[in-house]
Amino acid sequence: MYKSIVCRYHEIATKGHNRSMFENKLIANMRILCEYDGIAGLVFQRIRGRIFIRKLKNGIFSSGELEKVKDVLSRSFGLESFSPVIECEPDINRILDVIGESAKETFEEKLKTCSVVQFRTRARRSDKTFPLRSKEIEIEAATRLQEIFGEKIKVNLDHPEVSIGVEVRDKIALVYYETFKGPGGLPVGTNSHVLALLSGGIDSPVACHMTMKRGCHVDFLTFHSFPYTPMESVDKVKRLASVLNRYQKKGRLYSCNISELQKLIRDNCNPRYRTILYRRQMMRIAEKICRFQKLNAIVTGESVGQVASQTIVNLSIINDATRMLILRPLAGLDKLESIERAEKIGTYNISIEALPDSCTVFAPPSPAVAAKFYLVEEEEKKIPDLEEELEKAFRSIEKYEDL
């Protein structure tokens, strides 16, 4: 029945002279995600604030093809909503004929389980030369349907079982029955390229997803402590990165072994500052990757006050280890909010797999909640050959692509 899908955006529409750049990037991203899912033969077209997706030779989407494309669009940042649509001439009689023909299947399916179907009509016209106003189109459409189905259907504006939309545009009219929510935000790639610290936990994948939503392309860095943590922990992070790459052009994953650094910190420094010292070295390694790869910020899954190392005082001490901008998208979220988002984006079930990560290696029994900066600096000076050890850790980095 459907030959087209119309895509709508909101935040992109607020852009000025560079709006076309955002629209083109959104289309490019949708193409890439379609290719990743094996969907070929689609044509994307920008028409006055909408993006139309059609098949080559104007073919009809099968139900299976429609589901695949809908799945891609639900992951395409920048989209506000989308609807499979039936196109016709912008003539009221033709619009009413299309509604009468297309509604039959929808209403008959609903009538299998109830005696009366509650419905409503919604219309808008961007073509102000069209002779009927939006409200008049709605009334005409509802009247036509009641003429066809009689007492089997009833208007319900607040809680309809079927909502029929009509959009009258220049030279074309659209009829649709479903509107699906997109992820919103900005197209990935319209902002800077960043590096996210990705652990096997719940929070950092959510931080990655939220950063993508603001238009950033995300590469990933994970730390492991082999042989104190199993290499399966890296495999787990690979799977998390693979899920996150379903929302963007595939990002790289860097894996760095910091076990020797951790041993030196354990053996030479006050255990109360151990986690803060770990995090400071992680930031230094992340900064070096950013400088080499021309990445513009570091992203973490830290939430203010969630654990001892994430108090404002301790976060500021961790920040001091790098001159890079550090983004913390989860700063104001609690754990339940992070869990809810993780479930929604598909990372939660992987994150809760029980595998140790580098942050749990040699974890101190009583970490400092509000460390003194000068004391942390003094402890850091006790780490023998720190610059050399950081370089060794940097040289241990492995890169994974096409996840």
The count of residues in the chain is 403
List of domains in the chain? 4-181 (3.30.2130.30), 193-400 (3.40.50.620)
Q: How many CB atoms lie within 10 A of CB 4?
A: 21
| Distance (Å, whole) CA 61 – CA 39 | 12
| Distance (Å, whole) CA 159 – CA 111 | 17
Query: Would you give the DSSP letter of residue 56?
Result: G
> To 10 degrees, the CA torsion angle through 140, 145, 147, 148?
150
Phi, psi of 390 (to 5 degrees): -65, -40
Query: Would you give the DSSP letter of residue 3?
Result: -
Taking alpha carbons only, the member of 137, 144, 150 closest to residue 102 is 144
| Distance (Å, whole) CA 392 – CA 403 | 26
Q: In degrees, to the nearest 5, what angle opens at C-alpha 259 toward C-alphas 254 and 263?
A: 150
Q: Tens of pLDDT along 42-54? A: 999 998 889 999 9
Is the distance from CB of 275 to CB of 309 less than 8 angstroms? yes
Q: How far apart are the first and last CA of the chain?
A: 36
Contacts (Cβ under 8 Å, ≥6 apart) of 103: 145, 148, 149, 162, 164, 177
| Distance (Å, whole) CA 342 – CA 203 | 8
For residue 175, what is the enclosing H or E element?
A: strand 172-176
Q: Tens of pLDDT along 28-86? A: 999 999 999 999 999 999 988 899 999 998 899 999 999 999 999 999 999 999 999 99
Task: Tell me the DSSP string of 232-283.
Answer: HHHHHHHHHHHHHGGGSSPPPEEEEE-HHHHHHHHHHS-GGGHHHHHHHHHH
The pLDDT score that the predictor gives to residue 12 is: 92
For residue 4, what is the enclosing H or E element?
A: strand 4-8
Question: Could you tell me the sign of the dihedral formed by the alpha carbons of 227, 219, 315, 261, in that order?
Answer: positive
Question: Helix (H, G, I), strand (E, B), or coil: what is residue 311?
Answer: coil
Strand order in the sheet with 326-327: 326-327, 298-299, 193-197, 217-224, 253-257, 398-400
Per-residue pLDDT tens, the chain, 403 aa: give them: 899 999 999 899 888 889 999 999 999 999 999 999 999 999 999 988 899 999 998 899 999 999 999 999 999 999 999 999 999 999 999 999 999 999 988 898 888 888 899 999 999 999 889 999 999 999 999 999 999 999 899 999 999 999 999 999 988 999 999 999 999 999 999 999 999 999 999 999 999 999 999 999 999 999 998 988 888 999 999 999 999 999 999 999 999 999 999 999 999 999 999 999 999 999 999 999 999 999 999 999 999 988 878 899 999 999 999 999 999 999 999 999 999 999 999 999 999 998 877 777 777 888 888 989 999 999 999 999 999 999 999 999 999 998 8
The pLDDT score that the predictor gives to residue 36 is: 95
Omega before residue 227 within 30° of 0, cis: yes
Which amino acid, 78? G
Q: How many CA atoms lie within 13 Å of 163's alpha carbon, on the beta-carbon side?
A: 11
Question: Which neighbouring-strand residues pair with 6?
Answer: 52, 83
Question: Helix (H, G, I), strand (E, B), or coil: what is residue 358?
Answer: helix
Whose structure tokens read 């901008």?
325
Q: In degrees, to the nearest 5, what angle opens at C-alpha 359 toward C-alphas 261 and 201?
A: 145
| Distance (Å, whole) CA 365 – CA 203 | 22
The pLDDT score that the predictor gives to residue 13 is: 87
